[in-house]
Amino acid sequence: MSKSLRVGAALLLAVLAIWTVQHAALHQPLQLGAKPSAAPMAASQVTVNGEAPAPLDTPYAMVKIPERLPDFTLANRDGKPTSISAWRGKSLILNFWATWCAPCRREIPILESLDVQWKPQNVAVIGIAVDRRDEVLAFAAALHITYPLLIGEQDALDAAAAVGVDSPMFPFTVFTDRRGEVVAVFVGELHRPQADLILSKVKDIDDDRIALPAARRAIAAGLDTLNAHAAG
């Protein structure tokens, strides 16, 4: 099984989760213009209320995800300040990425296909590029990215912090329902099986077939199963 698939099985769910990081990366200040790390192999353990002790030999970064997606504003491709609330009423797939991040680049075809498949079902894919504007625009043109992009540097890092990721490990993807509730945050390279699982539960929430807590539990169980298959 490829390393990229094992990375993709990593996850953060609901309001709190954890991933494995190197000790130095945890304590290094994240400065404007510096490149945060690409997401390493993450732990599949999900904590409840932040009360799961980490093994003594494994440092964790604790990430607290808000119940609802906070409002933030970044420039769109045309340079116009655009609030994430412009997509109010839609379920969202918010992919935080950077041009220098290889897993981020590999995700783009999947995000394009998700955009085509789910747009008729009131789901929007939005790329949040944490990078220099000129590099993002050139990259997006070369790869023919068609879904909306919001672009920033420190302000985009602030947006990542607003969704609970204070020390970004790229890529990571935030999934919300149509009410703006955060259903899941997936850290690492997103693959189609994980995306399909999460979005199926988002759809169940949107159609009032399942409550949010039950959907989160189902996603956690499903991702654990995918993670176990990947590890095998």
**pLDDT per position as a tens digit, 22-71:** 222 322 333 334 455 554 333 333 322 233 333 323 233 446 778 999 99
Say which CATH number the domain at 137 has. 3.40.30.10
Number of structural domains (the chain) is 1
DSSP annotation string for the chain: --HHHHHHT--EETTEEEEE--HHHHHS---TT--PPBP--------STT--PPPTT--EEEEE--SBPPP-EEE-TTS-EEEGGGGTTSEEEEEEE-TT-HHHHHHHHHHHHHHHHHGGGTEEEEEEEES-HHHHHHHHHHHT--S-EEEESHHHHHHHHHTT-SS--B-EEEEE-TTSBEEEEEES---HHHHHHHHHHHHHHHTTSS-HHHHHHHHHHHHHHHHHHHH-
**pLDDT per position as a tens digit, 127-156:** 999 999 999 999 999 999 999 999 999 999
Q: Averaged over 9-19, what is the pLDDT?
A: 34
* pLDDT level of residue 161 (50, 70, 90 thresholds): very high
**pLDDT per position as a tens digit, 70-95:** 999 999 999 999 999 999 999 999 99
Domain that holds residue 28: 3-231
What does pLDDT average to over the chain? 79
**pLDDT per position as a tens digit, 167-187:** 778 999 999 999 999 999 999
pTM of the model: 0.77
